[in-house]
Amino acid sequence: MTPSFPKIWTVIDLLKETKAYFEKCGIATARLDAELLLAHCLQRDRVKLYMDFEYQLTPEELALFRDLVRRRGKREPVAYITGQKDFWSLRLAVAPGVLIPRPDTEVLVEETVKVMKARGSAGPLRILDIGTGSGAIAIALAKELPDAVIVALDISEQALAVAQANARSYDFGDRIEFLCADSLHGMPEGRLFDAIVSNPPYIPSADIELLEPEIKNFEPRLALDGGPDGLDFYRAVIPHIHSYLKAGGFVALEIGADQGQAVAELFAAAGTYTAVRIMKDYARKDRVVTAESL
């Protein structure tokens, strides 16, 4: 009688099987997620997976991969499973309790960098990042604006710990000051900035339950819930931001896809801003509102 041997699993076999399983779980990015998790398991990049499709996993590697697949099948975000997320050519650490950076937020970084470089500065640029989360915006700005010093606020000590670790990993720890504060509350008085930026919570409360399980079941609601219509942050902060800006200071706030006009009207109603603009993302949806302080 022929003995029964365990199946040998190669990279290509695992990718095919995992893709099919993820599709059954309702995961839209099934193939990509399979590749990301297997690359993480094998500690290699995705390109090297394609260069060695016939590699046979060891029992230890297979056991680890199965655990990663099990977690993803329950719709845990890939970024939380791998502990990292790429943003603006940066690889940032993320963890449960910290909002996962999105490519959409790069629109805010791109516009802020463009404006700050065009203006120039006789001294260091001073930038305030409200609700820094993983530190994605602050670190990207520090990378692109070598003369910038940044204050990054967040109400979550857990998020601040992750952001500080990310800043240290890119040697920006001495240029980014992290403060535990709820929006502008707790911000030391007397500081004036060249720019204030934020990716605040802007999802209407009732809409959160309509989101994908990865978001509604895993990401911090504190970083998502913008109140009944998603505009709580903007109403609370826009009337006061100018007090922390130099004359002509720049503001860039990320928004939801249908919130551009409403947020622009809040800037106009405050009476202390000019040059209000609605910026669109690469999908041509409203993504950032910018303004200048009078």
pLDDT of 1-43, one tens digit each?
334 435 788 999 999 999 999 999 999 999 999 999 999 999 9
- The one-letter amino acid code at 138 reads A
**Contact between residue 5 and residue 56 where contact means Cβ atoms under 8 Å apart:** no
Looking at every residue in the chain, the average pLDDT score rounds to 93
Task: Give pLDDT tens digits for 52-104.
Answer: 888 899 999 999 999 999 999 999 999 999 999 999 999 999 999 999 999 99
At 173 the pLDDT is 87
Please state the rounded mean pLDDT for residues 247-274.
Answer: 96
CB-count burial class (<10 Å; 0-12, 13-18, 19+) for 259: buried
Task: Provide CB contacts within 8 A for 130, sequence distance 6+.
Answer: 153, 183, 184, 196, 197, 198, 200, 237
Please state the rounded mean pLDDT for residues 168-180.
Answer: 94
**178: which strand partners?**
152
Residue 187 above 80 pLDDT? no
Query: Torsion over CA of 39, 44, 50 and 52, rounded to 10 degrees?
Result: -110
Task: Provide CB contacts within 8 A for 124, sequence distance 6+.
Answer: 147, 148, 149
Least-confidence region, from 4-13, 210-219, 251-260, 268-277: 4-13
The C-alpha angle with vertex 163 and arms to 100 and 191, in degrees rounded to 5, equals: 115
Give the separation between CA 210 and CA 115, rounded to whole angstroms: 36
